[in-house]
Amino acid sequence: MAGDVPERSRVEISREAGRLRIVLRVARAWSTITILAVWLLGWGAGEVAAASQLLGGPNPAGASVFLALWLAAWTMGGLLAAGSLAWSLAGREVIMVEGPSLAIRHEVAGVGRTRTFEVRRIQALRPAQPGDQLPADRRGRRARRGAIAFEVDGAPHRLGLTLEGHDVEAVLQALHGAGVARATGGFG
């Protein structure tokens, strides 16, 4: 709805048939995108050169093993950088509240990962504060990045990876309006 978010927002909030859908588009940091794109060009040249060397002819046994291991690590680094570039260009976080579930999906071009929580188990949904030390869960893991913090069964979670300013409040209002728990006690 147009009245829910500021005009220049990267947030889309829609409500239809008892379902809340919030889409958060990633802020494009063009300097990072440019650096990654240039780096990937150099990476590609290194990948081709190493693969050609490995597959192109006889190599001393130790050199082939080292080159194969190096190529595997080089490939993983390139894939991580390509994923980061794809996220920077086309990434989005989709938050859905439908019935008893809150789903948080991070995706690029429709491919991604979804985490689902029962709305009734969510506690203390609030803006995350700089330096906000959320408690660790039972395995000692701390919550990841995100502008909005909450707990489920004492485990910290966050959403809104790229939210800023007024968008945080607009998303919180929409989630509270859909019945997701407000912060209580010391979390204000």
Same domain, 110 and 166: yes
In the prediction, which pLDDT does 186 show?
A: 41
Enclosing domain of residue 37: 30-89
**Token pair for residue 25?**
């588009």
Same domain, 105 and 44: no
Reported as a single tens digit per residue, the pLDDT across 1-60 is 444 554 567 899 999 888 999 999 988 889 989 999 999 999 999 899 888 888 887 777
Positive/negative CA dihedral, 152, 154, 155, 158: positive
Same domain, 82 and 99: no
In the prediction, which pLDDT does 1 show?
A: 45
- Examine the fold and report which residue of 89, 111, 133 is the final residue of a domain before the chain moves on: 89
Reported as a single tens digit per residue, the pLDDT across 113-153 is 999 999 999 988 888 876 555 545 455 555 456 788 888 88
Same domain, 21 and 47: no
